[in-house]
A and B are shown apart, each in its own frame.
Chain A
Amino acid sequence: MSSISINRLCIAYEGTTVVDSFDVEVAEGQWLSLIGPNGAGKTSVLRAIANLVSFRGEVCIGGQAVTEFGPRQLARRVAMLAQEPDMPAGMTVAHYVLLGRSPHLGYLGRESDRDRRIVAETLDRLGLGALADRPLDHLSGGERQRVAIVRALAQQAPILLIDEPTSSLDIGRQQSVLELIDRLRSEQRLTVVSAMHDLTLAGQYADRLALMVQGHVVAVGTPAEILTEPAIAKHYQAEVRVVELNGSGRAVVPVRR
């Protein structure tokens, strides 16, 4: 139902190819993280899975091409968390989360009590019930990120796409946001595809990593297979040490040249 398979995906913006012959499979309930230097095409792959960009090749969800879904049908399957979600000033947290119910409503439909209840319960589950009537522009960076996750969850889609979920957060908030996503993934069997810059965090939370360079996948595998000193040195032009941590993956540490 919520497995993803991508074959020979090519994306070009005004003639410039940003993703070229991209292939990857993500099983239901798995977390795949796309890593790679700036401009590698990570965000474009996420946008293709949500059918937000025109592409060549094939992107299937549960065996059906995303281009064959109706817009609302697809939105009930795939929820996307943008890197910097638009948060209209003055809109309350509850109202923002309520918009996540849109895929379940008709074109001119109104939210039912059930929709309002889902908003309340989702906010409570993430411990944000107290923020319900707070305007979005009064939130801290960490709160905004969690509110955006609540909105995506209210969509009740089995596939969650996340673009740089931790880019503007401090190290503690980064951890708590990723723990939260991981917990929700196992509780609700969500399939997660994320684009991440932080290689250590990407390796600690994702089941598999896909390393992208200039629109191509150069390697797909477990964090142990992908996060190696030679690979990072080659593709990021970075000098790093990869340190094994006892039982919690590996850390990628930059070394001053």
Chain B
Amino acid sequence: MPKFNSFVLDQNIFTEHFRVIHGNDALTIKMRLSSVVLYELVATTVSADDLDLFERLRKLHDRNETLITPDKTDWWETAKMIRRLRFGDKSASHGLTPKIQHAQKLQNDALIARTATLAKCYVVTKDIDDFRQFVPFLPNLEVVGDAEFFG
């Protein structure tokens, strides 16, 4: 069991496990909503009507103080973390700066990981390895796979 009590759901958990989330009130109350995850969900939303639903959820989590949003320090520390990740890769690639194929995803995952950890939450995701690469920089980061969480 994770040592933290609350959790943040990654975007892929919402899109794959929406039925379970829909039917589990205890989960809804226990979870914290990441602004970064909300961004990822809204960016793929096409209907204007649906956009209003996401906006309402954002406002309610904000009022409930369960909305986790990166601040200026989070952005700066995340930039340094990504730089160090790339620097490590660079030394392994004989001085060439490696091209990060999914640079924005890496940035978003890093922001989710950092802000969740600071809020004493673990991250539930399908992409466990993507998040575990941040553990050397975020020693308290806890990552839980969807199989462990949902069974």
Are the chains A and B members of one assembly? Answer: no
Measured CB to CB, the residues of B under 8 A from A are none
Measured CB to CB, the residues of A under 8 A from B are none
